[in-house]
Amino acid sequence: MANNILPARTGEVSYVYLSKKLHNISVGEGVASLMVARIFDFITICFLFFVSTILIRDLPEIVSKIIWVIVGLSVFVLLLFLAFVLFGEISVDMIRKVANGINALRFPFIHYLLRKGDETAQSLKLMNSKKLFTGVFVTSIMIWCFQYSTLYILANAMSISLTVWCMIFAITFVFFTTILPIQSIGGFGVIEGGWALGFMIMGISKEMAISSGFGFHIVLLIFALVLGAFGLVNTYKVGLSSIC
């Protein structure tokens, strides 16, 4: 719920906070597990997107021209993630040196961030297991296949008829807006824009793409608010039981 309401993916902070409050997981471990999950989310989405571009016949010319730009940006973001996972301690040390060079270490907040960065790097180092990463990757694929299937059914219910791979290609634009920190409050405008862009590229009329985008967003917010409210109530009960 927090991710669907708060801007720029700041709702992710709620995961770290609740992990510490309810399960006594350190901030570093919470951030590390969140980073690993997001890395594999990004890998899965990019994989499905690139497979769909290969399998779609008669891909619009504009997409053929910009596809390598999208590939380059995706690889760049992925390499940044992987660099911190594999070389977290080195990355934090480099940031510390830069902060020291610009005399930023005099601020307590910078010290706090660097300390949490050290915790995250240590947690990532402990999590560096092929078995763990394989399990996370398989789980990520299953989750995203379910989400694609849900949106496929929803799009069909709104009279959008496309082949499976065309639908995957269009829906991916929505998911890119949800995993990258570009969301507005409530995702208004951004999510509809991603939905409309993807389906307009696939030949759906502008009016249908925009109206169905708003319909999809309303359904998404209803589910997020209902399930989020249930989660808040359950969290509150768990918190009370732990106090008692």
* 180 pLDDT above the threshold of 70: no
* 237 pLDDT above the threshold of 60: yes
| Best CA proximity match to 181, nearest among 61, 47, 7, 57 | 7
Whether the Cβ atoms of residue 148 and residue 48 lie closer than 8 Å to each other: yes
What values do phi and psi take at 197, rounded to 5?
Answer: -60, -50
Residue appearing with tokens 């053929």: 64
* Percentage above 90 pLDDT, the chain: 2
* Three-state secondary structure string covering 23-45: HCCCHHHHHHHHHHHHHHHHHHH
* 203 pLDDT above the threshold of 70: yes
From residue 30, how far is each of 39, 141, 174, 183, 209 by CA, in Å? 14, 21, 26, 22, 38
* 2 pLDDT above the threshold of 80: no
Cα–Cα distance, 241 to 234 (Å, whole number) = 11
13: exposed, middle or buried (C-beta count within 10 Å: 0-12, 13-18, 19+)?
middle
Q: What is the pLDDT of residue 94?
A: 81
Q: Ramachandran region of residue 26, left (φ > 0), alpha (ψ -120 to 50) or beta?
A: beta
CA 168 from chain centre, in angstroms, equals 17
Q: Provide mean pLDDT across the span 73-77.
A: 73
* 8 pLDDT above the threshold of 60: no
* 241 pLDDT above the threshold of 70: no
pLDDT tens digits along 141-160: 888 888 899 889 989 988 89
Higher pLDDT among residues 244 and 184, named by residue: 184
Q: Provide mean pLDDT across the span 90-111.
A: 77
* 102 pLDDT above the threshold of 60: yes
Domain ranges of the chain: 7-243
Instruction: Of 32-36, 136-140, 148-152, 223-227, give the lowest mean pLDDT range.
Output: 32-36
Q: What is the pLDDT of residue 127?
A: 62
Whether the Cβ atoms of residue 235 and residue 15 lie closer than 8 Å to each other: no
* 198 pLDDT above the threshold of 80: yes
* 1 pLDDT above the threshold of 80: no
* 161 pLDDT above the threshold of 80: yes
Q: What is the pLDDT of residue 13?
A: 73
Cα–Cα distance, 135 to 113 (Å, whole number) = 30
Q: What is the pLDDT of residue 243?
A: 46
Instruction: Of 85-89, 95-99, 208-212, 239-243, give the lowest mean pLDDT range.
Output: 239-243
Cα–Cα distance, 22 to 19 (Å, whole number) = 6
Cα–Cα distance, 228 to 234 (Å, whole number) = 10
* Percentage above 70 pLDDT, the chain: 76
Cα–Cα distance, 7 to 182 (Å, whole number) = 8
Please give the model's pTM, rounded to 2 decimal places: 0.73
| Best CA proximity match to 59, nearest among 194, 173, 202 | 202
* 240 pLDDT above the threshold of 50: no
Tokens linked to 41: 């989310």
Mean pLDDT of the chain: 76
